[in-house]
Amino acid sequence: MAKKPSSRRALHHPRHNDTKALHRRHQADKFDDPSNIYPLNTRCHHTETAYLPPRCEQPFSARTPAQQRYINAIKRHCLTFGIGPAGTGKSYCAGALAAEALKSGRIERIILTRPAVEAGEQLGFLPGDLNEKFAVYIEAFRDILNERLGAGTVNYNLRHGRILAAPLAFMRGKTFGPDTFVVLDEAQNTTIAQMKMFLTRIGEDCKVVINGDIQQSDIRGPNGLADALQRVKGLPDVYVHQFERDDIVRSGLVRALIDRYEMAM
């Protein structure tokens, strides 16, 4: 008389394995079904689902007269400096204008760069390739582009080289050609040599914006941004826009905090 298969051997029966595979496929199909993407409970009306990044559908416009003057300067000049305290919208205006120009076809490429300098703390070794390492430094600009273009469009253009984000050191040897919009952010952390290298990359028919706050430099020694502002005085097609404390739009608290820090200096 043949022995009955043990319960342990029965677990490996082909029919049993087929049943488990069908169950796994059923579970995967549940997560792939768009009807199973649920709205988030949030006060932000632009966040509709867990998979939809926030995107602003409204045309970009200035929030203050100072921002409007800055925007006009960027549109009219080859090289524009945006100088002033945090929270005035320097980076946002530059990023939004770049996104708008790329979307409309007026430019072919956006280049985002900044010195890879940490603000008073050491982050240590960062894993991944160059793009993954530098993503930590350029995340604020990525958020601006995501808001103006949508995350899918930004990812596509990053993959195809129409949006390039790279450390300032990697700008050496490049030329900013026609139909390119270049933004150098946190320029107060450049050395004189770095700023000279960057400025001498400027080619014909490109748009270059340099943003920074001289009071928030994280480097020792001479400041490349402050030095450049002295050197570009009187040059044609160069504009220096100075934001003031009253131009801060981030919050009233930021304005008050900057006042307190300036009083102590």
* pLDDT above 60: residue 241: yes
Residue 34 lies in a domain: no
Residue 113 lies in a domain: yes
Higher-pLDDT residue of 54 and 215 is 215
For residue 118, give every residue at least 6 positions away whose Cβ sits within 8 Å of its Cβ, in sequence order, or none.
Answer: 218
Please tell me the predicted confidence (pLDDT) of residue 264. 62
* pLDDT above 80: residue 51: no
Written as six digits, the tokens of 192 are 């004189």
The per-residue pLDDT of the chain, averaged, comes to 79
Distances (CA, A) of 127 to 121, 123, 136, 138, 158: 18, 11, 11, 16, 20
In the structure, what pLDDT confidence band is assigned to residue 42 with cuts at 50, 70 and 90? very low
* pLDDT above 60: residue 36: no
What is the percent of the chain where pLDDT is above 90? 47
pLDDT in tens, 72-131: 999 999 999 999 998 899 999 999 999 999 999 999 999 999 887 654 444 455 555 555
- Average pLDDT of 219-227? 91
CATH number at residue 258: 3.40.50.300
- Average pLDDT of 17-21? 58
Please tell me the predicted confidence (pLDDT) of residue 221. 85
pLDDT in tens, 120-163: 444 455 555 555 555 666 788 888 999 999 989 998 998 899 99
* Cα 121 from chain centre: 21
Choice among 10-19, 40-49, 175-184, 212-221 with the minimum mean pLDDT: 40-49
d(CA 212, CA 187): 5
Count of domains for the chain: 1
Please tell me the predicted confidence (pLDDT) of residue 120. 44
Residue 111 lies in a domain: yes
Residue 52 lies in a domain: no
Residue 238 lies in a domain: yes
* pLDDT above 50: residue 48: no
Choice among 4-13, 211-220, 248-257 with the minimum mean pLDDT: 4-13
Is the Cβ–Cβ distance between 191 and 221 less than 8 Å? yes
* pLDDT above 70: residue 16: no
Choice among 1-10, 56-65, 161-170 with the minimum mean pLDDT: 1-10
Residue 46 lies in a domain: no
Range of the domain at 134: 65-264
In the structure, what pLDDT confidence band is assigned to residue 11 with cuts at 50, 70 and 90? very low
**Strand ranges across the sheet with 109-114:** 163-167, 109-114, 180-184, 207-212, 79-83, 238-242
* pLDDT above 80: residue 211: yes
Residue 53 lies in a domain: no
Please tell me the predicted confidence (pLDDT) of residue 73. 97
Residue 49 lies in a domain: no
